[in-house]
């Protein structure tokens, strides 16, 4: 897949805040050292590292970790090429557009509320531009839909995907969103969800809703660290 499309910076206010405070405390450390304030310089250098290391890991996730996560989730699905796919909280289309490359005869629904603070440059226009850049616009639908109230019929989706969306929703809402994912999943269908929190609950809710959990494990090169749940609806 090309990398001309931009999939945004997740939680960009935090990354920006960490980078900014890291830069300021680094400057403070240099000035303190020049003024002969060794203990202050040391303390400020430790504080700078405490901000810059997570900022750097966050940037690494955006530059390459999220593409690896996409490939890991999509590789776990056995594709026919004509599936109906749903990306819940699609943002700029990381998972949905990747899936669209694998379903030349299928249909991909990308749904989101396009929250600006969750992803830099978030919006339906950017997702549509990315779909054109990736050459998959003919089979991608993008709509404003809440994960807690999906607009698709029962058992109508072959593959449900989601990354870093559900933790943005409160506990009751996450339970509803998990139930909605299970509701729309067709017999024999697969759901793959990655997130930085709440995946134990998610695996339990999927099981309660009749799905079989196949995998629940850490995703490498993610920051903050994510875990993903892979489940299927038995035929
Ligand atoms: C951190 S971004 C991740 C975007 C994309 N999945 C990715 O991994 O690049 C989280 C996304 O979830 C969306 N979101 C948050 N709450 C939502 C809800 N209740 N329903 C649908 N989307 C939601 C945000 O608008 C944002 O696009």
For residues 152 and 188, what is the distance between their CA atoms, to the nearest angstrom?
Answer: 17
* Number of domains observed in the structure of the chain: 2
148 and 220 both lie in a single domain: yes
- For a mutational test of ligand 1's pocket, the pick from 12, 74, 91, 97, i.e. the residue with the most ligand atoms closer than 8 A to its C-beta, is 91
142 and 30 both lie in a single domain: no
- Both tokens of 221, joined, read 């090169």
Q: Radius of gyration over alpha carbons of the chain, in Å?
A: 20
For residues 3 and 130, what is the distance between their CA atoms, to the nearest angstrom?
Answer: 10
91 and 185 both lie in a single domain: yes
Domain finish residue from 63, 88, 105: 63
27 and 100 both lie in a single domain: no
Contact 112, 146 (CB under 8 A): no
- Both tokens of 151, joined, read 């607009």
pLDDT confidence of residue 1: 47
In tens, the pLDDT along 206-224 reads 999 999 999 999 999 999 9
203 and 121 both lie in a single domain: yes
Q: Is residue 71 part of a domain?
A: no
Pocket of ligand 1 (CB under 6 A): 7-8, 10, 66, 89-92, 94, 112-115, 118-119, 122, 146-148, 163-165, 168-169
Q: Is residue 25 part of a domain?
A: yes
Supply the range of the domain harboring residue 167. 77-233
b/e burial code for range 209-220 (CB count within 10 A of at least 16 → b): bebeeeebeebe
CA of 160 to the centre of ligand 1 (A): 14
Span 183-197, mean pLDDT?
98
150 and 217 both lie in a single domain: yes
155 and 190 both lie in a single domain: yes
pLDDT higher than threshold 50 for residue 231: yes
Cis bond before residue 110 (omega within 30° of 0): no
Q: Is residue 70 part of a domain?
A: no
For residues 159 and 95, what is the distance between their CA atoms, to the nearest angstrom?
Answer: 11
Give nearest CA residue, ligand 1 atom 23: 89
What confidence category does residue 3 fall into, taking pLDDT thresholds of 50, 70 and 90?
low
Predicted TM-score (pTM) of this structure: 0.93
Domain at 135, CATH number: 3.40.50.150
pLDDT confidence of residue 116: 95
Span 48-71, mean pLDDT?
92
82 and 191 both lie in a single domain: yes
Give nearest CA residue, ligand 1 atom 3: 164
127 and 18 both lie in a single domain: no
CA of 175 to the centre of ligand 1 (A): 16
213 and 133 both lie in a single domain: yes
What confidence category does residue 14 fall into, taking pLDDT thresholds of 50, 70 and 90?
confident
Residue 114 CA: nearest ligand 1 atom is 25
pLDDT higher than threshold 90 for residue 28: yes
């Amino acid at each position: 897949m090309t990398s001309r499309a931009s999939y945004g910076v997740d939680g960009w206010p935090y990354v920006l805040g960490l980078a900014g405070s890291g830069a300021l405390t680094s400057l403070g450390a240099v000035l303190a050292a020049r003024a002969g304030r060794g203990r202050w310089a040391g303390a400020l250098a430790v504080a700078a590292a405490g901000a810059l290391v997570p900022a750097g890991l966050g940037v690494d996730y955006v530059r390459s970790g999220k593409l690896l996560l996409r490939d890991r989730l999509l590789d776990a699905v056995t594709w026919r090429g004509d599936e109906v796919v749903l990306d819940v909280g699609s943002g700029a289309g990381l998972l949905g557009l990747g899936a669209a490359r694998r379903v030349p005869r299928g249909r991909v629904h990308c749904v989101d509320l396009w929250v600006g603070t969750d992803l830099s440059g978030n919006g339906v226009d950017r997702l549509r531009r990315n779909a054109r850049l990736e050459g998959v616009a003919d089979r991608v639908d993008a709509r404003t839909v809440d994960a807690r109230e999906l607009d698709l019929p029962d058992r109508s989706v072959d593959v449900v995907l989601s990354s870093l969306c559900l933790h943005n929703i409160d506990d009751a809402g996450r339970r509803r969103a998990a139930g909605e994912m299970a509701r729309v999943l067709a017999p024999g269908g697969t759901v793959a969800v990655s997130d930085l929190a709440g995946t134990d609950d998610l695996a339990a809710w999927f099981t309660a809703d009749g799905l079989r959990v196949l995998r629940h494990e850490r995703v490498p090169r993610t920051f903050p660290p994510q875990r993903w749940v892979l489940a299927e609806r038995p035929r």
